[in-house]
Structure 1
């Protein structure tokens, strides 16, 4: 099981080609079906989104971080008089000129 876990990590860290990534992921799914049935079903359910990673190598981590930061600012901004003050606070957080 440890070997399979490391294999999928290697697939995402080392594979740059879309075709190779899809092929390797398919091979991993066939081997891991017995040991990781829940993960296997999840990967199959989200297959299109997962193989999109091999197209450009990006994920939604940056956007999720921005959304989290905006929620934190929103939570601390209950005293703001209007939306413009909230907007300025958000822009200042990322050093944008307002």
Structure 2
């Protein structure tokens, strides 16, 4: 309740920020509630038109990746898990600078996700 109160007071002071916040919530709602692929794309395009003056850089990115973004509506899946795994592996690689061989890197990676470790 305290955070909602703070948010409301900020939104009252800045109409631009209030509009940006409303657009953000509308964007989230498109991805959470729409069921039909066609309706999703229509709503997303309408949102992009409304948001063009508030989020110009974000819209440029969305235009470049529109096919991939719209792909979410086919099966409601993302590549977030794979991206997270790749990010974790890069971190392990950076932290393991100086590993003498690949099997040490492999061991460290498998231990991170609690996989059983067997000899190669």
Calculate the TM-score normalised by the size of structure 2. Answer: 0.68
Note the C-alpha offset of 1:38: 2.8
Gaps of 5+ in 2: 1-18
In structure 2, C-alpha distance between the alignment counterparts of 1:97 and 1:82, rounded to whole Å:
20
Greater than 4 Å deviation, 4+ residue runs: none
In structure 1, C-alpha distance between the alignment counterparts of 2:39 and 2:82, rounded to whole Å:
27
In structure 1, C-alpha distance between the alignment counterparts of 2:53 and 2:96, rounded to whole Å:
50
From 45, 67, 75, the equivalent of 1:56 is 75
- Higher RCO (CA 8 Å, separation ≥ 6 residues): 1
Gaps of 5+ in 1: none
Let me know the Cα RMSD of the aligned residues: 1.9
In structure 2, C-alpha distance between the alignment counterparts of 1:10 and 1:36, rounded to whole Å:
17
